[in-house]
Structure 1
Amino acid sequence: MNVDIRRPSAPALVLGVTLGLAAACWVAAVRLMHGMDMGVATGPGSFGFFAATWMTMMAAMMLPGAAPAVAGYVRLVGRMRGALPFTGAYLAVWALAGVVAYALDRPHGSPAAGAVVIIAGTYELTPVKRCFRRRCHEVAGSGLRFGLYCAGSSIGLMAMLVALGVMSVLWMSLVAALVSAQKLLPAKTVIDVPLALAIVGLGVVTVVAPSLLPGLTPPPM
């Protein structure tokens, strides 16, 4: 697509298309996940169904926060059509994460889910997390590199999603909001530390009082 990226409308077009795709994937993901949420007892199902649902979810969750990076890459390389391979490589990283999630995710109890959430909250406080998040804010030279940085930054939050209920629209929405905020906003200790402690607290509640959390336990038959 030969569009002069120096035109002011070019970045807006990239942002609009990316966000439009994300919105369409949100609608599709909610439909695919309907009736599939069994809390921590949710099974991954067949690989084909899981893969289709996972990739739709990843496009819905990850593209809003990545849209500025896609526009920045187009501006960097000077070609509008560069957006497609950049976005494809970025989502390929999350496709690989889906293979790992499918291999590990099996019906489990609240104690196991809570342990994963506690580990995810602890990870938010580590230098490794801060390093990946900082690199995720830089203008990346490729979608693959950007995807790896952002996966490293968001791996704890995504593990939390899988542990609490990968087919839950509630947890998906919450994690998507956190992931997008961390992609778009600079790190601030006054926000990030209380958030990490809140995630650890969520993990503790998941272990000791799971009935207090909506959507965690399977619905009655």
Structure 2
Amino acid sequence: MGNAGAAEAAQAPRSMASERAFLGASALLFLACTARTVAWSASMSAMGAMPMPGGWTMSMAWMRMCGQTWPGVAASFLGMWVVMMATMMLPSLVPVLWRYRQAVGTTGGTRLGRLTALVGVGYLFVWAVLGMATFALGAALAALEMRLPALARAAPVAAGLVVLSAGALQFTAWKAHHLACCREMPGHGRGQRGNVGAARRNGLQFDLRFGLRFGLQLGLQLGLHCVCSCAGLMAILLVIGVMDLRAMAAVTAAITVERLAPAGERAARAIGAVIIGAGMILIALA
């Protein structure tokens, strides 16, 4: 017992240092991604937007400029998208990663850092896949709207309907299920703790067997639940303006509140009510 107590006492300072390093790295990553997102937004604003029939403007993010290739435009959009998602999701993701680190326990600072990074990589990979699909859909729709004036004139009403539908989605059982999974790490239960213990007993093979199998898998699962939970809110961002800082801030605040508030489902419904009201206003104005 004495040796065990001494070992725990010796481990405590290392654990505290590891958690401080994790929080510090998270804060630096958030600040760097935020600064880059603001710079990209300013750059897009400086490029202007294309006036469209119906009294609205189309973002240049969906268009190929002179001298650009479509693969280059897609790569630029994907980089912008991943950084923007990191900015928007980190406030609600960091507490989940913190709980994950507590569940894994003391595996050494370097190993624990690698495991946490694997979860983050899996999480952002899901958002990157969504970003590729979003660009393909957005570019195709932009091309159609430039060719078909009637479709462009209907865009403001369609945007209002998207916002209205996004608000209604906040009240569904589907939203509640995925939100609950986002609020707690997927797979974080009795079976998961048993796998953690088995991986600890494997010692040197912890990173290979536990990290690759569970860290990346949990990141992918969490990313999928997050994408589903945020589907409505992200749709609002896309129809209002993918690089609009005010829209990004509002969506980020909504995501963070419903993820971290004690009563997340009630918070999601309250946000849904506000969104429905905004959708009705947009339709009336259109």
Corresponding residue SS for 1:112: helix
Contact 1:40–1:165 (CA under 8 A) maintained in structure 2: no
Corresponding residue number in structure 2 for 1:96: 129
Contact 2:258–2:265 (CA under 8 A) maintained in structure 1: no
Residue 13 to residue 40, structure 1, CA distance change in 2 (3 Å): farther
User: How far is 1:190 from its partner?
Assistant: 5.2
Pairs aligned (count): 207
Map 1:85-124 onto structure 2 (within 5 A): 85-105=118-138, 106-107=141-142, 109-124=155-170
Contact 1:69–1:140 (CA under 8 A) maintained in structure 2: no
User: Do residues 66 (structure 1) and 93 (structure 2) align?
Assistant: yes
Residue 40 to residue 187, structure 1, CA distance change in 2 (3 Å): farther
Map 1:75-86 onto structure 2 (within 5 A): 75-77=102-104, 78=107, 79-86=112-119
Q: How far apart in 1 are the matches of 2:178 and 2:162? A: 20
Q: Which residue of 17, 22, 39 maps to 2:25?
A: 17
User: How far is 1:112 from its partner?
Assistant: 1.4
Corresponding residue SS for 1:41: strand
The one-letter amino acid paired with 2:88 is M
User: How far is 1:35 from its partner?
Assistant: 4.4
Q: Is there any run of 5+ residues in structure 2 with no aligned partner, and where? A: 1-10, 50-55, 64-72, 143-151, 188-217
User: How far is 1:11 from its partner?
Assistant: 2.6
Q: How far apart in 2 are the matches of 1:190 and 1:63? A: 22
Corresponding residue number in structure 2 for 1:164: 240
User: Do residues 32 (structure 1) and 40 (structure 2) align?
Assistant: yes
Contact 1:30–1:169 (CA under 8 A) maintained in structure 2: yes
* TM, length-normalised to structure 1: 0.84
Residue 110 to residue 177, structure 1, CA distance change in 2 (3 Å): same
The answer to which structure, 1 or 2, has the higher relative contact order (CA under 8 A, 6+ apart) is 1
Q: Pairwise CA RMSD of aligned residues?
A: 2.1
User: How far is 1:72 from its partner?
Assistant: 2.2
Map 1:43-62 onto structure 2 (within 5 A): 43=60, 44-45=62-63, 46-62=73-89
Deviates more, 1:87-96 or 1:107-116: 107-116
Residue 209 to residue 27, structure 1, CA distance change in 2 (3 Å): same
User: How far is 1:152 from its partner?
Assistant: 1.4
Contact 2:257–2:267 (CA under 8 A) maintained in structure 1: no
Which of the pair is proportionally richer in helix? 2
User: How far is 1:81 from its partner?
Assistant: 1.8
Corresponding residue SS for 1:166: coil
The C-alpha deviation readout for 1:68-91, integer Å capped at 9, x for no partner, is 122222333332221111111111
Corresponding residue number in structure 1 for 2:58: 41
Contact 2:237–2:248 (CA under 8 A) maintained in structure 1: yes
Residue 160 to residue 70, structure 1, CA distance change in 2 (3 Å): same
Corresponding residue number in structure 1 for 2:181: 135
User: Do residues 178 (structure 1) and 211 (structure 2) align?
Assistant: no
The C-alpha deviation readout for 1:157-203, integer Å capped at 9, x for no partner, is 01110011101111011101111222222335654333211101111
The C-alpha deviation readout for 1:87-122, integer Å capped at 9, x for no partner, is 111111111111221122244521111111111101
Deviates more, 1:166-175 or 1:105-114: 105-114
Q: How far apart in 2 are the matches of 1:16 and 1:181? A: 22
Corresponding residue SS for 1:167: coil
User: How far is 1:23 from its partner?
Assistant: 1.5
